[in-house]
Amino acid sequence: MSHSDEHQDQIETRAIHAGQTPDPNNGAVMPPVYLSSTFEQDAPAVPRQGYEYSRTTNPTRTALEENVASLEGGAWGLCFGSGLAATNALLASFVPGDHIVAGNDLYGGTHRIFRQVYERYGIEFTFVDARETEEIAAALRPETKCVYLETPSNPLLRLTDLSAAIALAKDAGKMVVVDNTFATPYLQNPLALGADVVLHSMTKYLAGHSDVVAGCLIGNDPELRERYAFNQNSCGGGLDPFSSFLVMRGTKTLAVRMERHCSNARAVAEFLEGHAAVETVHYPGLESHPQSELCARQMRDAGGMVSVELKGGLEAGAELSKRSRLFILAESLGGVESLIEVPPIMTHASIPAEERRASGMADGLVRLSVGIENVDDLIADLDQALSR
C-alpha cells in the first residue's frame, strides 16, 4: 500500500509518498534499487507480481512511474532513458502521412528528432507561434494527429495559453501533448486542463541535481499507456533501476526546490532589469513581460529560468558567461546549481542566424538557470561579472 491518498494529499506530500511503499519483507523505507535483469517465476509463464524481465518492467522503475504519474495527476507514467527517448516513444506511434502541429520555439533536440528523424519516415510537421492560439487553429488539417506544446518556451520564456489551445485542439478531435519540463508539475498541470499526454525531461527539475539523464510520459487514457508501454518493451528505451532511484530522490524535494528556484529567479530578473548593461529581460513573472497576466493565471509561480539580452550583443553575452563565478558556463538546466549559457552559439547554434533573429532571439541573448544558492550571492556574482 502506498502511504499517499492520491485524492486528498497535496503535491508536496505526494512527491514524498506516492509510489513509495516500505518493503513488506524488511520494512526498508526507501524503495530498493532492484539491479536484477530477470525475476523468478512461480510456475512457467506465471511471473510474481507481474515482474519478468527488466526491459519490460522493474520494481524500482515502477515506484518512480507511480510517483511522477501522481505528481502530474495522471493515471499512469512510463519512464525512459532520456527526455528524447520519451519523445521517440511518442512519435513512433504515428504513421506516414500523419501531421503534427508544434510551437516554433521548442527545445532544440525536439526540433531535431522531428525534422531530422521522423520527417524521413513521412511524418509531417508545421511550426507555429504558439503564443497565438489562432495560429495553432489555422495549422490544423484533417490528417493532423497531434498538437505538441512547450510552455514556457526555450530560451525566450514565451507562454502558450494552455486552456485555450487544448480546448481548440480537443474541439477538433486532436490529441494534445505538453512538454512540461520547464514548468514542472509544481507550477502547472496540463492533464487537469485536458491534455492527453505530459512529457518531461526528468534530467532537469524533476531529478534536479544534474546527475542523471531521464524522461517520462504521463497520461490518463489506458490505450495510450498500452501503446507507449508496447514501444518501451519492444524498442528498449526504459529507464534503468539506478537512474530511477536517483530521479525519485529528486522528486521528493521538488516543491521546496521550485519555491526557491522561483523566488531566486524573480530577484535575479528584477536585478537584471535595473542594470545599465541590459537591453531586455525575459521572465514571465515580471510585469514588463507581455504575458505576465497569462503567467499569473496559468502558473503557480514563474519558474527558475531567466533569459536576458545584453546591450553589447554576442560579445557581451560571452564575456558575462566567462566572468561569472557561481553561474557555471554549461548547457542544461533545472539543477540546484546556477548555470549560464549563450543560446545563439551553444544550445541554439544549429538554427541559422537569420531564422534565429526572425524568431526574436537577439545575438546578445544569455540564458540563466537560476539555482537554489543564496540569492544575494547570485546577484553579487552577476553584478561583478557585468561591471568589469
Which residues are marked as active site?
A: 55, 107, 179, 204
Asked if residues 328 and 339 have their Cβ atoms less than 8 Å apart, the reply is yes
Residue 51 vs 127, nearer CB to ligand PLP:
127
Cis peptide before 24 (omega within 30 of 0): no
Helix axes 254-273, 375-387, angle to 10 degrees: 30
Q: By beta-carbon distance, which residue lies closest to ligand PLP?
A: 83
Residue 54 vs 82, nearer CB to ligand PLP:
82
Q: How far is the CB of 202 from ligand PLP (least distance, A)?
A: 7
Residue 179 vs 319, nearer CB to ligand PLP:
179
Asked if residues 234 and 227 have their Cβ atoms less than 8 Å apart, the reply is no
Residue 128 vs 199, nearer CB to ligand PLP:
199
Q: How far is the CB of 164 from ligand PLP (least distance, A)?
A: 21
- Please give the Cα distance from 201 to 53 (Å, whole number): 25
Q: How far is the CB of 319 from ligand PLP (least distance, A)?
A: 25
- Please give the Cα distance from 269 to 121 (Å, whole number): 43
Closest CA to 160 of 140, 139, 190, 185: 190
Residue 181 vs 189, nearer CB to ligand PLP:
181
- Please give the Cα distance from 313 to 340 (Å, whole number): 16
Q: How far is the CB of 258 from ligand PLP (least distance, A)?
A: 15
Asked if residues 341 and 349 have their Cβ atoms less than 8 Å apart, the reply is no
Asked if residues 269 and 285 have their Cβ atoms less than 8 Å apart, the reply is yes
- Please give the Cα distance from 187 to 68 (Å, whole number): 14
Q: How far is the CB of 215 from ligand PLP (least distance, A)?
A: 5
- Please give the Cα distance from 103 to 207 (Å, whole number): 25
Listed in sequence order, the DSSP H helices in the chain are 11-17, 59-72, 83-91, 108-112, 133-139, 162-171, 184-187, 222-235, 241-251, 254-273, 292-298, 313-323, 353-358, 375-387
Inter-CA distances, 337 with 44, 217, 222, 254, 372, Å = 50, 26, 38, 14, 6
Cell numbers given for 24: 513488506
Residue 58 vs 201, nearer CB to ligand PLP:
201
Residues of this chain that bind ligand PLP (CB under 6 A): 82-84, 107, 109-110, 150, 154, 179, 181-182, 201, 203-204, 213, 215
Residue 143 vs 211, nearer CB to ligand PLP:
211
Q: How far is the CB of 342 from ligand PLP (least distance, A)?
A: 16
The residue with cell 557585468 is 386
Q: How far is the CB of 83 from ligand PLP (least distance, A)?
A: 2
